Amino acid sequence: MPELPEVEVTRLSFAPAISGGQIQQVQLGKPLRWPLGCAPQQLVGQTVLGVRRRGKYLLLDLSAGLLLVHLGMSGSLTFMRTAPVAGKHDHFDLVTSHGVLRLHDPRRFGAAVFADSEQAASAQKLLGGLGLEPLSAEFEPQVFYAQLHLRKAPIKQVLLAGDVVVGVGNIYACEVLFRAGIRPTTRAARISRARVLRLHEAIVHVLALAVQQGGSTLRDFSNAHGETGLFQLQARVYGRAGQPCHACGQPIRLMRQGQRSTYFCSRCQT
DNA sequence: AGAATGACCTGCTGGC
DNA sequence: TGCCAGCAGGTCATTC
Give tens-digit pLDDT for A6-23. 999 999 999 999 999 999
pLDDT value for A114: 96
User: What is the average per-residue pLDDT within A247-251?
Assistant: 97
Q: Is residue A68 classed as helix, strand or coil in its secondary structure?
A: strand
Distance of A192 CA from B10 C1′ (whole Å)? 42
Give the closest residue to A159 by CA, choosing from A195, A125, A190, A131.
Answer: A131
pLDDT value for A128: 82
Distance of A22 CA from B11 C1′ (whole Å)? 35
pLDDT value for A120: 80
pLDDT value for A124: 75
Whether the pLDDT of residue A89 is over 90: the answer is yes
Whether the pLDDT of residue A122 is over 90: the answer is no
Q: Binning pLDDT at 50, 70 and 90, where does residue A181 land?
A: very high
**A260 annotated active-site:** yes
Give me the catalytic one of A3, A6, A8, A175: A3
Residues 27-66 of A with CB under 7 A from strand B: 30, 33
Whether the pLDDT of residue A117 is over 90: the answer is no
Distance of A127 CA from C2 C1′ (whole Å)? 45
Give the closest residue to A126 by CA, choosing from A108, A142, A110.
Answer: A110
- Is the shortest CB-to-strand distance from A259 to strand B under 7 Å? yes
Whether the pLDDT of residue A123 is over 80: the answer is no
- Is the shortest CB-to-strand distance from A107 to strand B under 7 Å? yes
Has domain A141-264 been given CATH number 1.10.8.50?
Answer: yes
What kind of fold does domain A4-123 have according to CATH?
Answer: N-terminal domain of MutM-like DNA repair proteins (3.20.190)
**A3 annotated active-site:** yes
Q: Binning pLDDT at 50, 70 and 90, where does residue A1 land?
A: low
- Is the shortest CB-to-strand distance from A72 to strand B under 7 Å? no
Q: Binning pLDDT at 50, 70 and 90, where does residue A232 land?
A: confident
What phi, psi does A225 have (nearest 5°)? -105, 5
Give me the catalytic one of A198, A236, A260, A267: A260
Where exactly are the structural domains of chain A? 4-123, 141-264
Residues 29-68 of A with CB under 7 A from strand C: 33, 55-57
CA–CA separation, A160 and A37 (whole Å): 27
Whether the pLDDT of residue A116 is over 80: the answer is yes
Distance of A33 CA from C2 C1′ (whole Å)? 32
**A125 annotated active-site:** no
Q: Binning pLDDT at 50, 70 and 90, where does residue A197 land?
A: very high
Residues 218-247 of A with CB under 7 A from strand B: none
- Amino acid in position A90: D
Distance of CA A192 to the CA centre of its chain: 27
Whether the pLDDT of residue A149 is over 70: the answer is yes
Number of C-beta neighbours around residue A53 at 10 A: 20
Whether the pLDDT of residue A218 is over 90: the answer is no
Strand partners, A32: none
Contact by Cβ (8 Å): A145, A193 = yes
Give the closest residue to A49 by CA, choosing from A21, A25, A24.
Answer: A21
